[in-house]
Amino acid sequence: MGTATLMDTIINTDAGVDFDRHAYIAILLGSVYSSSNPNAANYGQGQDLLNDENRELALSWLNNPDFSKEDINAEMFALHERINGVDTVYRIEDLWNPTIVNFLRDAIAAGVEDPCNPDYEGYIVGENDKFCEVLKQNDLIDVLEKANYDIELCHSPGDTLVTYSNMPDVGENAFLTANIKAGGHEESIGFCFFDVFGDIVSEKFLSFVPEPKHKSDPDSGSNDARGGTSNSANISSLSFTSTVFVIVVGLGSSFM
């Protein structure tokens, strides 16, 4: 995730696109880019995405194990009403650093695709350079475009939450393919998930599952001289497949 997703988040927030359902995403992004990781370039540099006034409050909602995404949304809108009054347009600056927001918003207005380019006049050392650096640390596009193994990317141009503009150019790397789906965020997740699940249960995928190393023991169901598959190998394959299935389900549900 890089500047493309953040810029589209601001655009969609200003336009009110799906914000009633997905307001909590602003806190998820804010947490990632707000001194939560000591290895991040902007850690302790005064260039956090969450603003100083409400940073701890926002993180307390995110870290509350009893809060659902709907609870977080409700707290965000309640905070907005306390700050700005009832029936007012939501301002992302209620939670995000206005200096960073204005930096990105000015770039949007100017039609600048990469505001973190040092040649852009809005890029200012000591004001947003470390924020830009952490964006690039978390951006996988260059990694994907240089990969030397097959990668299939599944996305939908209709996804207004995880924007399609954050996709790498599959034309840059013969190992990349794009599986384009229809629908919004939730719909496309479902389509992509079923494709992944179909791959997981396929013979091609299972052929990559390694058999465990063990000693040959006729009484334990291990491989014998006839080359039969051991019970432990079958169990290992099932366990590995189940684990991957859970990971895929977890990834999907985290964005729904």
pLDDT digits (tens, 9 = 90+) for 86-115: 888 888 889 999 999 999 889 989 999 889
C-alpha dist (Å) from residue 143 to 140, 148, 168? 5, 10, 9
Strand partners, 155: 180
Q: What is the largest CA-CA distance in the chain?
A: 78
Contact 39, 26 (CB under 8 A): no
* pLDDT tens, N- to C-terminus, the chain (256 residues): 567 777 777 777 666 667 777 888 889 888 988 888 888 999 999 999 999 999 999 999 999 999 999 999 999 999 999 999 988 888 888 999 999 999 988 998 999 988 999 999 999 999 999 999 988 888 888 888 889 988 888 888 888 777 787 788 888 899 999 889 888 877 888 888 888 777 776 666 666 666 666 555 555 444 444 444 444 444 444 444 444 443 343 344 444 4
Structure tokens at 111: 């039609």
Decide: pTM greater than 0.95: no
C-alpha dist (Å) from residue 161 to 79, 86, 105? 22, 26, 18
Structure tokens at 102: 């204005």
User: 12 in helix, strand or coil?
Assistant: helix
